[in-house]
Amino acid sequence: MDPDAVAKAFVGHYYQTFDSNRAALVGLYQDTSMLTFEGEKFQGTAAIAGKLGSLPFQHCEHQIVTVDCQPSGPQGGMLVFVSGSIRTGPEEHPIKFSQVCTPRPASIRFLAAPPSRSRSPRRSQA
């Protein structure tokens, strides 16, 4: 199995799901997963689902620019770096983002554990 092809398929699925049905992403995490979002840490499926559900936008569109991957660990895991832009509304300017995740095989599916996400530039809250 080509790690780059697996990483690109995982990233495609993750962001398509993020853009269309964010709540369904919880199935990609497990209780030991951790999401780091702009310096805040959320561990476990309930905390991650809560954070994803609390994001201040209902709809978004990711444009992926790069997907870099390398094998990680003896169990077939991988380290994946993603960069691109996200638009949170039709009138919004795209915001650059990057994400690092370590998907690993578990049974038949991949689990994301632990991702780290950062947006740039940071938008101030009014």
**Tens-place pLDDT, residues 5-33:** 889 999 999 999 999 999 999 989 989 99
Task: Delineate the domains of the chain, giving CATH numbers in brackets.
Answer: 3-112 (3.10.450.50)
* 4: its two tokens: 């780059």
pLDDT tens-digit readout, 64-119: 999 999 988 777 789 999 999 999 988 889 999 999 998 877 633 444 444 445 44
Q: Which alpha helices (DSSP H) does the chain contain, by range?
A: 3-20, 45-54
3-state helix, strand, coil in the chain (%, to 5): 30, 40, 30
Q: Which of 117, 12, 18 minimizes the C-alpha distance to 61?
A: 18
Token look-up 């853009």 returns: 19
In angstroms, rounded to a whole number, what is the distance separating the alpha carbons of residues 48 and 114?
A: 11
Q: Are 46 and 76 in contact (CB under 8 A)?
A: no
Predicted model pTM = 0.80
